[in-house]
Amino acid sequence: MHGLGMLGRVICQKCWKLRPPSSRFLTSLSGDTDRFNGITVDVEQVPHTMSDEEFHGLLHDSLQIWKSEKLNAAWLKMPIQYGRFLPIAAKFGFQFHHAEENNCLLKLWMKESGEDKTPRFATHQVGVAGFVFREDTESVLVVKDRKSKFSYWKFAGGLSDLGEDIGDTAEREVFEETGVRTEFQSVMSVRQQHNQPGAFGRSDFFFVCRMKPLSYDINPCNEEISMCQWMNIHELYEGSKSVAPITKRILDLAMYGLKEGFHNVDVYAEDMESVYRGLRYKLYHRPYPIS
């Protein structure tokens, strides 16, 4: 009996080597279903020891289950370390939806009847600039980009980060480019543009915000900015050839605001409670009398 027990253990160890844990325990991929009747699967649940042939069989069997459950779409979150499985997923019809950092997301539309209504990944990028005005000297903070092919005076700004409010972007970008600290006041205008070079094929939203200066000393970022200064708003306005059309229009709005009051120009941000528990958002609108 003792010898048979030893033999049994040897046989089991050989079987373990021939059949890794992936093929012995994982019979289908698990994931989270959503309200659009789709399933999202993290491929990281698959052991690294799984062979390409085993993953092919696992994905085949999983798709059969999902189709029998009449799911509309399947999403595979594929870590970069599992890139060898990409050609296998492609054979089943999966396509890239988007990739970011160390993961890509693949999508397969499984509903036989009906148009594929899954949304594309991000369609727009968001840029923000700050119109910073000194009331005591009637001057505006302006910069010239070091790497731009246009030699225009412009307002400091840049792209908004994921999860960053527009006003916070304006404060951060103005400080990073000029060294001047500011406080967000309002949105003065929004530009929408398509086919913008350098936007990776995305459309573009560009917000210009009115900012209150909290400091005045300039310490520009030499890597990005070639020139930075406080310039008299009338001098800047009259030298229209040295500014882009959008800057000229913002100056028009600013001159009107200085004359008639910025309440006739500004779009303010109101902090609101979301219908999704625990979340809040900014609602931008013109001021109005509250009864």
Domain ranges for the chain, please list them: 25-109, 124-285
pTM for the model: 0.81
Task: Name the 3-class secondary structure at 268.
Answer: strand
The answer to whether 172 and 215 are in contact (CB under 8 A) is no
Q: Where are the beta strands (DSSP E) in 35-123?
A: 38-42, 73-79, 95-100, 103-109
pLDDT in tens, 131-171: 999 999 999 999 999 888 788 999 999 999 999 999 999 99
Q: Residue 168 has which token pair?
A: 């916070």
Q: What whole-number distance in Å separates Cα of residue 228 and Cα of residue 248?
A: 18
Indicate if 69 belongs to the active site: no
* CATH class of domain segment(s) 124-285: alpha beta
SS (H, E, C) 201-254: CCEEEEEEEEEEECCCCCCCCCCCEEEEEEEEHHHHHHCHHHECHHHHHHHHHH
pLDDT range class, residue 288, cuts 50, 70, 90: confident
DSSP code for 118: P
pLDDT at residue 4 in the model: 38
The answer to whether 169 and 129 are in contact (CB under 8 A) is no
> Smallest Cα–Cα separation from 129: which of 162, 150, 155, 93?
155
CATH superfamily of 25-109: Gcn5-related N-acetyltransferase (GNAT) (3.40.630.30)
The answer to whether 218 and 179 are in contact (CB under 8 A) is yes
The overall longest dimension of the chain from CA atoms, in Å, is: 102
pLDDT in tens, 45-72: 999 899 999 999 999 999 999 999 999 9
Mean pLDDT of the chain, nearest integer: 89
Q: Residue 162 has which token pair?
A: 């994921």
Q: What whole-number distance in Å separates Cα of residue 75 and Cα of residue 149?
A: 42
The secondary structure element, H or E, covering residue 159 is strand 157-159
The answer to whether 173 and 129 are in contact (CB under 8 A) is yes
Catalytic residue among 176, 224, 235, 273: 176
pLDDT at residue 119 in the model: 86
